[in-house]
A and B are shown apart, each in its own frame.
Chain A
Amino acid sequence: MPRVSFEHITKTYGTLTVLDDLNLAIDDGDFLVLLGPSGCGKTTLLNLLAGLLDVTDGRIMIGDRDVTDLDPKDRGLAMVFQSYALYPTKTVHGNLKFGLSASKLPREEIEKRIAWAAKLLQIEPLLNRKPGQLSGGQRQRVAIGRALVKNVGVFLFDEPLSNLDAKLRTEMRLEIKKLHDQLKSTVVYVTHDQIEAMTMATKIAVMNGGVIQQFGTPDEIYERPSNLFVAGFIGSPAMNLRKAKLSVAAGKIEAVFTSGVRLDVSDYPFAHPPLDGAEVIAGLRPEHFTLAATGPVAATFDVPVQYAERTGPDASAYFRFEDDLLALRVEPDAAARLNPGQSMAVSYIKGKANLFDARTGQRM
């Protein structure tokens, strides 16, 4: 199974530059998720890989083949589309079969693969139906089946789950993940749903404005976002980002917020030695706050409760801090006990803060 690489890719539509000198490489068997807000160029990048769009400049490699100028059918890829794109006049069987029409396979082999994919995806009873007679989830399976029968090394998915309801989405997410584990294929998957990204990916590329902001494993992206965009984009509720000034004293480095609260960042792995008085932005994850100050603490905030909300197993509480809200993850029963307006001491766990340069927005 091949590795896939984009080398110095540029794509323009007329005068609009969508991708500019983009580089990205993934390994054999990786599950790459392209994640980013709407209009950032994810579909464009995927379509360039599929060959449905021509690159303006640059090179695309699959394995050690340069596929930049190959026809889509010759690239050894299979794609699942957001709208499923099933052929409405063909039966499910016909749809799967047409997926193999470019390959000159003998008839028995074609039937064998269709039977295999149908069994794997549990669509055997549907083989003689037309797409119009299927539910959304069933259509989705057929679309995946049409990609599977091709038996290729690289699968492309363009937001395949966004038309499904929440429950089905969770189910299909697991199934796609299971398929990937089973087939060991390379997958490029586009989504703007960060839960999908975090749960399925082995690698995530966070994109914004046609630029890859960060490329790494889900853990790296979540734990060490490389700039303010990634920090704000990943996580729900979003990371709390607050202006602060560094105060560097002997053996102790602190980020001092405008209101005077001091955040101990002595153990922060600075890339460069920090300067006293440097303007920074501190990023505090909602789940790294505690209401009970146990264990080592980096800072304690004395702040009034604004409101709390429960999202199923979790609850979030919002506190007013420096004319803005501070989001915290709390236990649901603790949230129920909070009284709006009441001041509380909340603590931030030591060693969990993120610091970004206020001027460049880059991680320090």
Chain B
Amino acid sequence: MTHLSIAQKALGAEVAVRSAPYFPRKKKAITGRSIAVIVFLSICALFFCVPLYVVITTSFKTMEQIREGAMFALPNVWTLEAWDHAWNSACSGTRCEGLKVGFWNSVYILIPSLILSIGLSIITGYALALWNVKWAGPFLFVLFICAFVPFQIIMFPLISMTAAMKVYGSIWGVAIIHAILAMPVLTLIFRNYYKDIPQEIMSAAVMDSGSFWKIFFEIILPMSGNILIVVLILQITSIWNDYLIGVTFGGLGGQPMTVNLANLITISTGTVRYNDNMAAALLTAIPPLVIYFFVGKLFVQGITAGAIKG
């Protein structure tokens, strides 16, 4: 009985406290400053959203409707005709096979250059960070310099080198150039990441196994998930969005999707087929978007994770 009444009292007291707070807080009024920020952000959003809206709607319109000129109108009839045309039969120059040629070229460029650049730089970074490598310091310095040499400066020597290797003007030429140009930065990224692995873990591994490759595959590689995701995303987007290397080293047979797109849009005869062009642009942008969509969260984790805990 007494227990109950005490409990009730306590409950009552609590309710009373809740309903009449001792220190009521004033609601803050919206200040001029925050209005300015909101307006600025809205303008920015419009700046991106309006063109995107136009591109997307136009790609689903028929040419008849586009000729009417109402740019912001929704499609009268939604049709995938333009997408189909852009993918399968749009003409760039004399070939009329659409964007799919460029798409597959890009994929064939992407895969070997990813494997080559990440494979080589992860091993180099691992060796530089965790093993005693002679001249590691000067080597790192050279890498650092290399990472900041603009591509345009070494473009012509690279053309003659790839020509000598008989890969100039092919998919392989583009893939190899991508891999080589990415290696200094990737090596530095991996090396800095591995520097954070506690020294004692490495000492333990050296005493346990002593094998360079065994330690790499069994201990180090499983600890590299975060940084691999970061590097993968960086590489995929930069290779996919590249234009200059593709147009320089791809020749006619090895053009990546971006070059394909540019040709498709600029080299056109007769009336400009806006709906095809918009669909083609969207098609080219989709792959990196898909990557962001699926692994974007992991990417952020990877960037913020930093040091590896032992």
- The judgment on whether A and B are partners is yes
Q: Which of A64-96 contact B (CB under 8 A)?
A: 71-74, 77-79, 81-90
In the complex, what residues of A have CB within 8 A of residue B310's CB? Answer: 83-86, 88
Q: Let me know if A52 is at the binding interface, CB within 8 A.
A: yes
B216 to A: closest C-beta gap in Å: 13
Of listed A71, A72, A79, A146, residue having the most chain B CB within 10 A: A72
Q: Which of B191-247 contact A (CB under 8 A)?
A: 198, 200-201, 203-211, 214, 218-219, 222-223
- CB <8 Å contact, A73 and B209: yes
- CB <8 Å contact, B200 and A71: no
Q: Let me know if B309 is at the binding interface, CB within 8 A.
A: yes
Q: Let me know if A102 is at the binding interface, CB within 8 A.
A: yes
Q: Let me know if B46 is at the binding interface, CB within 8 A.
A: no
Q: Let me know if A99 is at the binding interface, CB within 8 A.
A: yes
In the complex, what residues of A have CB within 8 A of residue B207's CB? Answer: 50-52, 72-73, 77-79
A41 to B: closest C-beta gap in Å: 17
A47–B310 CA distance with the chains assembled, in angstroms: 20
- CB <8 Å contact, A89 and B219: yes
A73–B310 CA distance with the chains assembled, in angstroms: 22
Q: Let me know if A270 is at the binding interface, CB within 8 A.
A: no
A343 to B: closest C-beta gap in Å: 55
Q: Let me know if B295 is at the binding interface, CB within 8 A.
A: no
A87–B310 CA distance with the chains assembled, in angstroms: 7
- CB <8 Å contact, A98 and B218: yes
In the complex, what residues of A have CB within 8 A of residue B142's CB? Answer: none
Q: Is the interface of B mostly helix, strand, loop or mixed?
A: helix
- CB <8 Å contact, B223 and A73: no
Q: Is the interface of A mostly helix, strand, loop or mixed?
A: loop
Q: Let me know if B308 is at the binding interface, CB within 8 A.
A: yes
Q: Let me know if A101 is at the binding interface, CB within 8 A.
A: yes
Interface magnitude class on chain B? 20 to 34
Once A87-B219, A88-B309 are accepted as A-B contacts, the answer to whether A81 and B200 lie under 8 Å apart by CB is yes
A52–B206 CA distance with the chains assembled, in angstroms: 8
A77–B89 CA distance with the chains assembled, in angstroms: 70
- CB <8 Å contact, B206 and A88: no
- CB <8 Å contact, B208 and A82: no
Contact partner of A85 (CB less than 8 A), chosen from B201, B210, B214, is B201
A50 to B: closest C-beta gap in Å: 6
In the complex, what residues of A have CB within 8 A of residue B219's CB? Answer: 87, 89-90, 98
A-B CB contacts (within 8 Å), total count: 75
B136 to A: closest C-beta gap in Å: 16
- CB <8 Å contact, A98 and B210: no
Nearest A residue to B214, CB-CB? A101
- CB <8 Å contact, A85 and B203: yes
- CB <8 Å contact, B201 and A73: no
Once A98-B218, A101-B214 are accepted as A-B contacts, the answer to whether A87 and B201 lie under 8 Å apart by CB is yes
Contact partner of A79 (CB less than 8 A), chosen from B198, B204, B209, B210, is B204
A132–B223 CA distance with the chains assembled, in angstroms: 13
Contact partner of B206 (CB less than 8 A), chosen from A72, A78, A82, A146, is A72
Nearest A residue to B308, CB-CB? A88
A74–B209 CA distance with the chains assembled, in angstroms: 10
In the complex, what residues of A have CB within 8 A of residue B309's CB? Answer: 88, 132
In the complex, what residues of A have CB within 8 A of residue B223's CB? Answer: 88-89
- CB <8 Å contact, A89 and B214: no
- CB <8 Å contact, B200 and A98: no
A101–B208 CA distance with the chains assembled, in angstroms: 6
Contact partner of B210 (CB less than 8 A), chosen from A47, A71, A87, is A71
- CB <8 Å contact, A83 and B218: no
Once A98-B219, A101-B209 are accepted as A-B contacts, the answer to whether A85 and B308 lie under 8 Å apart by CB is no
In the complex, what residues of B have CB within 8 A of residue A102's CB? Answer: 208-211
In the complex, what residues of A have CB within 8 A of residue B210's CB? Answer: 71-74, 102
A333–B184 CA distance with the chains assembled, in angstroms: 73
Q: Which of A240-276 contact B (CB under 8 A)?
A: none
- CB <8 Å contact, A73 and B200: no
Kindly supply a per-residue 1/0 record for chain B positions 285-306, scoring 1 wherever the CB is within 8 Å of any chain A CB and 0 otherwise. Answer: 0000000000000000000000
- CB <8 Å contact, A85 and B206: no
- CB <8 Å contact, A87 and B209: no
Of listed B201, B206, B208, B308, residue having the most chain A CB within 10 A: B208
A81–B205 CA distance with the chains assembled, in angstroms: 12
A52–B130 CA distance with the chains assembled, in angstroms: 12
- CB <8 Å contact, A85 and B222: no
Binding site for B on A (CB under 8 A): 47, 50-52, 71-74, 77-79, 81-90, 98-102, 132, 146
Known: A82-B200, A87-B204, A101-B218. 6 other contacts (CB 8 A): A52-B203, A81-B200, A85-B310, A88-B201, A100-B208, A101-B208
Q: Supply 20 A–B pairs (Cβ within 8 Å), ascending by A.
A: A52-B203, A72-B210, A78-B207, A81-B200, A85-B200, A85-B201, A85-B204, A86-B201, A87-B219, A88-B201, A88-B310, A89-B219, A90-B218, A90-B219, A98-B209, A99-B208, A100-B208, A102-B208, A102-B210, A132-B309
Binding site for A on B (CB under 8 A): 198, 200-201, 203-211, 214, 218-219, 222-223, 308-310
